[in-house]
Amino acid sequence: MPASLTPAYHFGRMWPMRILVAPDSFGGTLTAREAAEAIAAGWSEAAPKDTVTARPLSDGGPGFVDVLHAALGGTLVAVNVPDPLGRTVPAVILVTGDTAYVESAQAAGLHLVAPAERDPLAATTYGVGVLLAAAAEAGARTIVTGLGGTATNDGGAGAFAALGAGPVGEDGAALPYGATPLLAVTGLAGHPQLRGAELVLAADVDNPMLGINGASAGYGPQKGASREDVQLLDAALTRWSAVLERDLPGCPPGLGSLPGGGAAGGLGAALLALGGRRESGIGLVRRLTGLDAALDAADLVITGEGACDWQSLRGKVMAGIAEAALERGVPCLVLAGRVDAGRRELAAAGVSAAYSLTEHLGSTEAAMSGASDGLRLLAGRVAREWSS
């Protein structure tokens, strides 16, 4: 058999294929694990001779801790935290050795707030600060925080408040939670207390906190911000950034323009201000879960997420997996809730084909309500196309 005629390019006609299923979560409908299980089940039903390996992923957003716990083991520490609107919700931190992993979306996630309730002017990251404090109290020397999927735009001011360094006004009194009060911030209540732990930001977003590509302009609208709100939010974060640079020892200059500072509504900038270093979320997950070995062994890779759009092509799970597949000369398929990115954009990113659950089921409502079964059926259809 010629070397070029490998099983990956026969698409199962003569040999069983090795399929790697590595999706992100699907918005508020499916976790990464549920999505991976649905896709794997559908493919196996349609192509039972193929070997299917499921590796659910996260780039730092929802599912970050769950994915790492499945790969690393470790201890889950339960913590009750306030959500973006102050309601108590359960969360966990993952502790392995002297490292703790925190998922900002567990405390500040967009999925915690109903569409009608979303208000980035008032939403707070206070709960994320509670998680960071719990990680420090657990003895972690390094705290890795997954950033993404939040309903907040307060620049991490709420998290600072939970750590004893919240924003204060001219009279020295603590300001209310949320982004709008930062228009009146003049200082900090103290220095954040993290027992000297090293901070790592797991994020693939490279947006800065401020400006036309910043947290407010880039992600505020999907969190419920109007055009006028975006201008107000950016002004509030501009003032907050200036206070952090002036009053926080060691804060890097030009905080508002640093890449990654716009992650999680500016929470990234708050952690950078504390000396945190940014690491690719999908890169970190790939390394810790041993994903590269699974990629090396695959004949075809499937990834996916809720919405395959321009953001997907800027460092998220889908982009990372497509790039890795392209490097190996392996086809990469995308199964998503909806596909908004163009065919040429996807091809340039390394995607061989993309399939929409919304189109498969006929409506957004059907895709949301029957995501698991629909994804399984869609995977079966795709398997019959690519594996037989």
Confidence at residue 364, expressed as pLDDT on a 0 to 100 scale: 82
Confidence at residue 8, expressed as pLDDT on a 0 to 100 scale: 42
Confidence at residue 5, expressed as pLDDT on a 0 to 100 scale: 34
Q: Are 276 and 229 in contact (CB under 8 A)?
A: no
Confidence at residue 11, expressed as pLDDT on a 0 to 100 scale: 44
What pLDDT, in 10s, does the model give residues 169-187? Answer: 999 999 999 999 999 999 9
Q: Which residues, at least 6 apart from 23, have a Cβ–Cβ distance to it below 8 Å? A: 32, 35, 36, 39, 56, 57, 302, 303, 304, 305, 317, 335
Confidence at residue 315, expressed as pLDDT on a 0 to 100 scale: 63
Alpha carbon separation from 128 to 177, 247, 267, 279, 313 (Å, rounded):
13, 22, 9, 19, 27
Q: How many CB atoms lie within 10 A of CB 115?
A: 8
CA angle 167, 171, 174 (to 5 degrees): 30
For residue 337 the two structure tokens come to 């809730």
What pLDDT, in 10s, does the model give residues 110-119? Answer: 999 999 999 9
d(CA 231, CA 245): 21
Q: How many CB atoms lie within 10 A of CB 363?
A: 10
d(CA 309, CA 274): 32
List, in sequence order, the alpha helices (H) in 75-171.
104-108, 126-137, 157-162
Give which of 345, 343, 375, 348 is closest to 360, Cα–Cα. 375
Q: How many CB atoms lie within 10 A of CB 138?
A: 17
Q: Which residues, at least 6 apart from 42, have a Cβ–Cβ distance to it below 8 Å? A: 375, 376, 377, 378, 379, 380, 382, 383
pLDDT, averaged in runs of 10, over the chain (388 residues): 37 73 89 94 96 94 93 97 98 98 97 95 98 97 96 98 98 97 98 96 93 96 96 98 97 97 98 96 92 95 89 76 93 93 89 93 83 95 90
d(CA 148, CA 367): 23
- Structural domains in the chain? 7-56+290-386 (3.40.50.10350), 64-279 (3.90.1510.10)
For residue 2 the two structure tokens come to 């010629």
Note the pTM of the prediction, 2 decimals: 0.88
Q: Are 250 and 275 in contact (CB under 8 A)?
A: yes
d(CA 331, CA 351): 7
Q: β-strands 167-168, 187-188: how paired?
A: antiparallel
Give which of 106, 107, 39 is closest to 68, Cα–Cα. 106
Confidence at residue 14, expressed as pLDDT on a 0 to 100 scale: 52
For residue 253 the two structure tokens come to 């200059």
For residue 255 the two structure tokens come to 């905080």
